[in-house]
Amino acid sequence: MTPATAARPLPTTHEMTGAQYAGRACVWCEAPLTQGRVLAGQASGQIGAHVVGTPAYQCLPDSGCQFLIEGDR
């Protein structure tokens, strides 16, 4: 069951792959973002005692998985 929210919770930085962390892969489907990217939000995480945030990116609306988010409701 998926709650009808406007946006999915982003993974933490700890859960992101290196490519996702670097903004080279979609945060949802891990597709390489060679054609462009859209900011999905700010992923949060913790490195030692430091709380960090990094931008997370997703596929372009017409070429990737954003419909999964838009169609969530």
The DSSP output letter for 12 is P
Q: Does 59 bind Zn ion (CB under 5 A)?
A: yes
Q: Contact region for Zn ion (CB under 5 A) — 6-14, 18-26, 40-48, 49-57? A: 18-26
CA distances from 4 to 15, 32, 66, 73 (A): 23, 27, 15, 5
Shortest distance in whole angstroms from residue 1 CB to Zn ion = 22
Q: Is residue 51 within 8 Å of residue 35, measured between CB atoms?
A: no
Q: Is residue 8 within 8 Å of residue 69, measured between CB atoms?
A: yes
Shortest distance in whole angstroms from residue 57 CB to Zn ion = 9
Residues belonging to the chain: 73
- Residue from 25, 26, 40, 56 in contact with Zn ion (CB under 5 A): 26
Which residue is at the shortest CB distance from Zn ion? 26
Give the binding site for Zn ion (CB under 5 A): 26, 28-29, 31, 59, 64-65
